[in-house]
Every structure is written in structure tokens, then in C-alpha cells.
Amino acid sequence: MGLADVLFGRKKLKEAQEERLFALSTARVTLDVELGLRPGGRAAVVFKALSSGDFVRVENDLQELLDVAARDTGSRVSRKEDEFGFNWIVVEDPDLEDLVATVHLVGSELKARGFGPQLLASLFRFDGYRHPVYFVYGYKRGAFWPFVPTGNEKTRDNAKELELKAKLEAELPIEQDLTRWLALFDAPV
Amino acid sequence: MKRKSFGRDRGLTLRMLFTSGLLGVLYIAFAFALIEFAGVGIVGMLVIVGGMSLVQYFTSDKLALLASGAKVVSEQQAPELHAMVERLCAMADLPKPKVAVIDTDIPNAFATGRNPNHSAVAVTTGLWNRLEPREVEGVLAHELSHIANRDVLIMTLASFFAMLAGILTRYAIFFGGGGDRDRNGPPIWLIVFLVSLATYALSYVLIRTISRYREYAADRGAALVTGAPEHLMSALQKISSGIASIPQRDLREVETMNAFFIVPTNLKSSFGELFLTHPPLEKRLAALARISQEMGRPV
């Protein structure tokens, strides 16, 4: 944040950093062998479309994006909207590498259409623990954090999350500031 | 393709620069007058005012929460509110502030804290109950923009000398009462008193002007973060109409917090805009409508 932001107020949001997403593919072996976490075959990108934007254009853009993703990858891609007014692009692919690649593609396509600053996060599902384990990638931070909902009301398993952080730190860019570990309880994955 | 920044308002930036500059010139003149006539040492003056400003600056989050009767709530106590704040913070790239609730039916909200790491955002139960979730989100985004824009820092700096001038107008007689009377002309305490009074009056207006500009900036920030200025617009309308219809007695409990609230409670002020900490509703709505239009334009 620059001095001008403090003096005159922010005029734009931080642009998305999507490059470090690929670190998740590299961490695959550790996740599987050491932590017993298998890819759940589902991931999602969450972002907020500008509501006052030209509605038809945004709709066309998103449809075009889904078509591009379906054509260029073998993944299944669909779209949802949630109660907070956020858009979710849900990606399904049994292979983690393809899943990460498609999520990256969706992110870059959104960025190319001018939604870059509106990108919030993407999240990847893993199974093999008592509850599903998610890895959230924050586009503003360019880092991952674990998210383990207990399924019991809206609570998360902090102990497990901290354990995952400690074990994966060497391989995955993990967000060090715990206050930034956004929870996404109603994620459609 | 990069989106251009929305709501880039060169006029607003220039006005902010001009007002701050004016305030700076005023304070330099005031400091000069104090040193020249009252014989207050620079060091003594800086210690008094600096000390007060530091106390205010470092305790601002706790002080404001205490003064407004806000209670910090945990994630278990208010899961939806926490979830909303979390998402907005992630979008704005801010650390999550403390979340507090004020138990009053008047819909309102404020943010405080010296920097994003020591900040708090508070909403009243009235805001949460009376407004739609998307409107609450707009209001929270406005408050978080105050934190992102470091408004407590700016306002503390802006009121640095105004505080000293305010104190001196009250105690000028003790400052210059005795001492050298052999000089001709009006007594020193009178000069100090008049200079302090003028400084206080002028800075009062200037600080309020800056405060109004910061409100526009926070409205713009909220539009950016939520991507939906229309929800903040409807929230502002609801909040102001709600405030006007509730009896004055209830409002007095929260009156000291005005500068921090999203819509001040004493709307019936008969003074002109110059003396208000917030711009009038119509002007805020107009500015938001402009941003909304800019967002609608194809990139």
C-alpha cells in the first residue's frame, strides 16, 4: 500500500497472483504418501462479478469462459452463484494436475476478461481424513492455507489445519498470517 | 487486459490536497505565533500535544469500543457476521479486524484502529436486523475501507494542533498572565487567546472538510470491494431514514461516536455543510451513482 493510498484512499483492488497455484501439483506426493490425503477430484474458483457492470456482457464473458475451459481441457466445468453474491466456477477432474491446470486456466481467463481484482480464492478438495480437507488459494496473497470444516455447525478443525501447515510448509507457499485463513463453509465442492 | 481504477476522481484528490495544505499552513502559523508571543518552547509544546496524540492514537481501537459500549464477539457468537467480514477482508487484502456488536436498535456501524493490524469494526444489532445482508455487506465494506485508508492516523494527525489550540483558548490567561508587562500594546494572553481561538475555529472547519472527503473515499472503496455500489446506496438511505424517525433521547447515548459512524446521528444540525463530519446523503448517493455508471462501462 503506497502513500498515495493513505492520503487519498484506495482507488483499486490488488490484482490477482495466480502463478503459485502450480505448487499444489508439486506437493501431491507429500500429500498422498505422508499425509494420506487423496485428491477429491473437485475444485472451485470464487470471484465477485461487478453487479453494476453490463449484465449481458458479463454473462456472455462467463459462458465463453466455460466453453474455452471445456474445449481446452478434459475437465467438467460448471457455474454457481451463492447467497453472498459471489460466483463459483466448479471444476471436476480426477487427476490433480489437470484439475490445477484447469483452475489456473479459469483464473487467467477471468483475469483476461477484466475480473482479476475481483478474484477471491480457489479451493481444492482432498479426502482421506475424517472430514474433507480443503486447500484454499488466496489470489490476493499468492499463498495457500488449509481449511478443515468439522461438519458440525460452522466450526473448523484448527488443530488439523496447523498440523497441515507445519508439514507442508517446505513444499507449499503457506499463508503465514493466520488471520487471513478465510473459511469457505458453503463451498459447492 | 487490465481494468482501469473506478471512481478515480481528480477533483476529490485535488480538494483533499488543498484542504490538507491549508491546514498545514494554518498550523505552521499557529506554532510560530505561540513561540513568538507566548514563549512556549517548541519542546514543551511537542511534548504536550505529541503525548496526547500518541495516547489517542495507540488506544483508539479500545477507546472507541469502550466509549460506544461495543462488545467484541467471537466466531461462535456471530458466525454470519464473521464470515462476511472475512470475505470482505480477503477481497480487500486486509487482515481481519476485531468484530464487535453494539446492542442498540439504531442501525449504524463504525471502524477504528491505528493500523489494519490493530483495528476493530463494530455494527449495531439494529443494522444487522433491519438491513438486507447485501446492504450490511456494503456498510461493512465502507468501514473496512476506512481501515484500509488509515483514517484514524489521518484524523489524529489533522487534529494534532487543533487540540492544543482548544486547550490554549481555555487556559491562555494562565499562560501569559504574569511576566513582561512593560511592552506596549495588548497583553500577551489576549493575543494568545485570539490566535488560539482563530486557529481552533479554522481547523475545526478544515478537519471536518477532510473528514467529509474521507467519507467519499471510503464509499468508493466499498464500491470497489463489493463490486455493488447500489447496495451501499440503499443501506445509506435506510440508515438515514431510520435515524431521523427515532426519538432524540435514544440518540444521545451514542452521540460522542459521531465522527466514526457511517451516518452521524445528529442529522438535524442547522449549520451548513461546513460543520458536518459526513457529506449530506444526496451527495454521497450521487457520487456512488457515478462510480456505478463507470463500472457499467465496457472496459
Phi, psi of A43 (to 5 degrees): -150, 170
- Chain A residues with CB inside 8 Å of B153's CB? 6
Nearest-angstrom CA–CA distance, B293 and B299: 12
Give residue A15's pLDDT band: very low, low, confident or very high (50, 70, 90): confident
- Which residue among the candidates B36, B86, B132, B143 is catalytic per the annotation? B143
Which residues have C-beta within 8 Å of that of residue A17, sequence separation ≥ 6?
Answer: A139, A140, A141, A142
Contact (CB<8Å) B137/A12 = no
pLDDT of residue B194: 81
- Chain B residues with CB inside 8 Å of A155's CB? 76
Residue from the list A85, A114, A179 with its beta carbon closest to the beta carbon of B96: A179
Per residue in A34-75, pLDDT (tens digit) is 899 999 999 999 998 776 566 677 778 888 888 888 888 888
List alpha helices for chain B, DSSP H.
10-33, 42-68, 79-92, 125-130, 133-148, 151-158, 160-176, 188-226, 229-245, 248-252, 281-296
Contact (CB<8Å) B150/A6 = yes
**Partner A contacted by B156 (CB < 8 A):** no
Per residue in A108-156, pLDDT (tens digit) is 888 887 788 889 999 999 999 988 999 999 999 999 999 999 888 778 8
Superfamily assignment of A13-180 in CATH? BMC (bacterial microcompartment) domain (3.30.70.1710)
- The answer, yes or no, to whether residue B86 has pLDDT greater than 70, is yes
Grid cell digits, residue B52: 496526547
> What is the C-alpha end-to-end distance of chain A, expressed in Å?
34
Interface test with B, best of A52, A88, A152 (most B CBs within 10 A): A52
pLDDT of residue B126: 86
Give residue B145's pLDDT band: very low, low, confident or very high (50, 70, 90): very high
- Chain A residues with CB inside 8 Å of B79's CB? 153-154
pLDDT of residue A9: 75
Model pTM? 0.76
ipTM of the predicted assembly exceeds 0.90 = no
Grid cell digits, residue A181: 485463513
- Chain A residues with CB inside 8 Å of B18's CB? none
Residue from the list B5, B137, B149 with its beta carbon closest to the beta carbon of A6: B149
Residue from the list A14, A120, A154 with its beta carbon closest to the beta carbon of B79: A154
Domain boundaries, chain A: 13-180
Chain B residue at shortest CA distance from A8: B13
Per residue in B223-271, pLDDT (tens digit) is 989 888 889 998 998 887 765 445 444 444 555 556 556 666 554 444 4
pLDDT of residue B265: 56
pLDDT of residue B222: 93
Do residues B10 and B294 lie in contact, with contact meaning Cβ atoms separated by under 8 Å?
no
The pairing of beta strand A119-127 with beta strand A133-138 = antiparallel
Least confident of A64-73, A180-189, B98-107, B173-182: B173-182
**Partner A contacted by B287 (CB < 8 A):** no
- Average pLDDT for residues B88-93, to the nearest whole number? 91
Known catalytic membership, residue B143 = yes
Mean pLDDT for all residues in chain B: 77
Least confident of B62-71, B128-137, B229-238: B62-71
Least confident of B5-14, B83-92, B221-230: B5-14
Per residue in B19-65, pLDDT (tens digit) is 877 887 887 777 777 776 666 666 776 777 777 778 777 777 787 88
Do residues B86 and B235 lie in contact, with contact meaning Cβ atoms separated by under 8 Å?
no
Grid cell digits, residue A128: 482421506
- Chain A residues with CB inside 8 Å of B75's CB? 154
Which residues have C-beta within 8 Å of that of residue B78, sequence separation ≥ 6?
Answer: B99, B101
- The answer, yes or no, to whether residue A174 has pLDDT greater than 70, is yes
Q: Tell me how many helices (H) and strands (E) chain A has.
A: 6, 6
Which residues have C-beta within 8 Å of that of residue A38, sequence separation ≥ 6?
Answer: A32, A126, A127, A128
Q: What percent of chain B has a predicted confidence (pLDDT) above 70? A: 74
Domain boundaries, chain B: 10-296
How wide is the angle at C-alpha A27 spanned by C-alphas A23 and A28, nearest 5°? 120
- Nearest CA of chain A to the CA of B55: how many Å? 21
Per residue in B149-167, pLDDT (tens digit) is 888 888 877 877 677 777 7
Chain A residue set in contact with B, beta carbons under 8 Å: 1, 5-15, 48-54, 57, 83-86, 112-114, 116-118, 120-121, 138, 140-141, 153-155, 177, 179-180, 182-183, 185
- Average pLDDT for residues A85-102, to the nearest whole number? 91
Most confidently modeled range among A82-91, B95-104, B111-120, B167-176: B95-104
- The answer, yes or no, to whether residue A176 has pLDDT greater than 50, is yes
Chains A–B, number of C-beta pairs less than 8 Å apart:
125
- Nearest CA of chain A to the CA of B53: how many Å? 19
Contact (CB<8Å) A180/B89 = yes
